[in-house]
Amino acid sequence: MPLRVHVDVVSAEESIFSGETDFAVFPGEAGELGIYPRHTPLLTRIKPGTVRLKVPDREEYELIYVSGGVLEVQPTLITLLADTAIRAHDLDEAKAIEARRRAEEALKNRATDVSYASAEAELAQAVAQLQTIKKIRHHHHH
């Protein structure tokens, strides 16, 4: 019996992913967190980026874009409570490019520190989304 760990990725709106995985990668605050089954319990924040889940018997990783959230790891269950989560194949490239353009504009015309910080966060998100889209393209170019 291969070792598996159940992963639930949920956002306020819905459950994005629920299923067994052989291995899962999350965008941790200090870099990528790769988690195998039977990992020591852990509770940590994650930053905007791509969750990669190795689903049994599938060549390709399931990719989910998250805008940040809280990751709880138990030996047999991983739960990610994401602020926003979008399955990678639902991402709209035009939207991401538009968001990046808007954020770059806002950074150019930075009037206040507050809008600057949120523009910077939006830019980071847009770039992460575009990277996710590129990864998918790269997987599906046959």
In terms of residue numbers, what domain contains 133?
Answer: 92-139
| Encoded tokens for 62 | 């399931």
Residues of the chain with pLDDT under 70: 1, 88-94, 110-116, 139-142
The CATH number linked to 99 is: 1.20.5
CB atoms within 10 A of CB 47: 18
| 67 and 54 within one domain | yes
Burial class (CB in 10 A: 0-12, 13-18, 19+), 64: buried
- The pLDDT of residue 34 is 94
- The pLDDT of residue 52 is 93
State how far Cα 86 lies from the chain centre. 8
| 82 and 101 within one domain | no
| 13 and 68 within one domain | yes
Domain count, the chain: 2
